[in-house]
Structure 1
Amino acid sequence: MPLVRIDLTSDRSSEQRRAIADAVHDALVEVLAIPARDRFQIVTTHDPADIIAEDAGLGFERSPSVVIVHIFTQSGRTTDTKQRVFAALSDKLAAAGVAGTDLFAAISENGPQDWSFGFGVAQYVTGELTVPTTGSG
C-alpha cells in the first residue's frame, strides 16, 4: 500500500498530470504487484520557480519541468526491487512525456504501525487489515 506524492510544475495540463499519475501507478502495480485499486496519490503542482532540482553531480541539466516522485511504502523491499521501481518509473514516465533527466524519485520505508486509513487507528496493528507482504505493496 504505497502512498505516493508527485510534485510537478503547474505548466502541465490536467491531462498530462493524470498521465503522469497513471504512469507512476502503473510502474508500482507492475513491479510491486500491488492491486490496481490500491492507489493513494497526492499530485501537487508548483510554479516552475518553486521546484529547485539541480545536478547532483551527475553532469546533466534538468529542464524547468522536473517531476519529483516520493513513494512511502512498507519496509522490506530489496535493493533490486527498488532499482526495478526506478527503471519502471523512468520507462512509464517517458511514455507520458517526462524526460529521464527530469525525473527525481525517492522511496521511504516504514512499518505497519505507521499507517492509519481512518478513524485514528493503525488498522495493521489492530488486525483490521492484513499487513501486506513486500511482494504485494
Structure 2
Amino acid sequence: MPLVRIDLVKGRATSDVQKIADAIHEALVEVMEIPVRDRFQVVTQHDAFEVVAEDAGLGFERDDSKVMIQIITQRGRTQNLKQRLYQRITSKLTITGVTPNNVFISYTENTPADWSFGFGKAQFLLGELKSYAS
C-alpha cells in the first residue's frame, strides 16, 4: 500500500512504460521502506490533449513525455520523507528518460479505515496489516 496512479501520454514502448512504473515503485520501496511486494499501480495512457499539466506559474514548459503520478497512502509520514520521495522518484525517472520538469506528483493521505485489500475486510483495522497512520 500505497496505491499509485500513473498517467502518461500514449506513444511509449511497453518496455518504457514498465521502466517508469518500476522506477516509481523502487523509489517508494527505498524511501518509504514498504515491502517490495506491496505494489499497487494503475498505469493509464491518454491522447496528448487529455493530459494537461502546465507550470502553475513556475516558468517552465512540459512536453508529451510528462508523467503525472498520484500517490494515495495512509497519513503519518513526515514532510521531510515526502520531499525525499519526490526527489527520489524524479531522479529515478530521469534514468528512464523523463526530465525533471515533466514529473508531476500529487500525494494524498487517508486513514486505516479507508483500505480493503480483499474479502470485504479492512485489514489495517483488524491488525492483519501494519498501519502507518499516526
TM-score normalised by the chain length of structure 1 = 0.93
Tell me which amino acid in the other structure corresponds to 2:27.
A
Alpha-carbon offset, residue 132 of structure 1:
4.1
| Alignment-mate amino acid for residue 131 of structure 1 | S
In 2, are the aligned partners of 1:2 and 1:40 still within 8 Å (CA)?
A: yes
- Separation in structure 2 between the aligned mates of residue 132 and residue 55 of structure 1, nearest angstrom: 32
Alignment deviations for residues 64-97 of structure 1 (CA, whole Å, 9 cap, x no partner): 2210011111101111000000000110000011
- Ranked by relative contact order (alpha carbons within 8 Å, sequence separation 6 or more), the top structure is 1
Correspondence for 1:59: 59
Residue equivalent to 1:93:
93
- What SS does the corresponding residue of 2:124 show, helix, strand or coil? helix
Matches within 5 A, 1:114-125: 114-125=114-125
What's the CA shift string for 1:13-72, capped at 9, x where partnerless?
A: 111100000000010011001111111100111111110111111100001221001111
Matches within 5 A, 1:1-137: 1-132=1-132
Number of equivalenced pairs: 134
Normalised by the length of structure 2, the TM-score is: 0.95
What amino acid maps onto 1:98 in structure 2?
V
Specify every segment of 5 or more residues in structure 1 that has no aligned partner in the other structure, as ranges. Answer: none
1:76-130 Cα distance to aligned partner (Å, 9 max, x none): 1111000000000110000011111110001101110000001222111123333
Q: Runs ≥4 in structure 1, deviation > 3 angstroms?
A: none
